[in-house]
Amino acid sequence: MSDSAASKSAADIWRDITARAWSDDAFKQRLSDDTTGVLSEYGLPVQAGIDYKVVEDTPTLRNLVLIRPSGDVSVAQLDADEPLTDDNAGF
C-alpha cells in the first residue's frame, strides 16, 4: 500500500477497488476469487475467521445485503405516511 493510500478512507479505497474491477477483468476475477487477499493488499482491515464475498449487480439483478444485527434490533413505529430516511431508517 502506498503512503497516499494510508490516508484514504475505507470508502475511498473501496471506490478505487470498484473502479479498477470495472476496467480490469483479470483484477475483477482475482477480487472474486481472493476477496480477502485483495482487501488486505489495499489496506482494508479484514477479520481472521471471516469470509468475504464480492457480488456484482447485473442489468437484471440487484443485490441487497442484510447486515448482521448488533445490539437492539427493535423497529420504531412510523406513521403510515412517514417515509424511511437516513435519519429515521425505522430502527
Distances from the Cα of 75 to the Cαs of 79, 87, 90, in angstroms?
13, 14, 6
> Around Cβ 17, how many Cβ atoms within 10 Å?
20
The set of cell numbers assigned to 12 is: 475511498
pLDDT, tens digit (0-9, with 9 covering 90-100), for 15-66: 999 999 999 999 999 999 999 999 999 999 899 898 999 999 999 999 998 8
Higher pLDDT among residues 7 and 86, named by residue? 7
Distance between CA atoms of residues 3 and 85, nearest Å? 37
Domain boundaries defined on the chain:
1-91
Q: What is the mean pLDDT of residues 7-16?
A: 91
Task: Please tell me the distance from the alpha carbon of residue 77 to that of residue 73, in angstroms, as a whole number.
Answer: 13
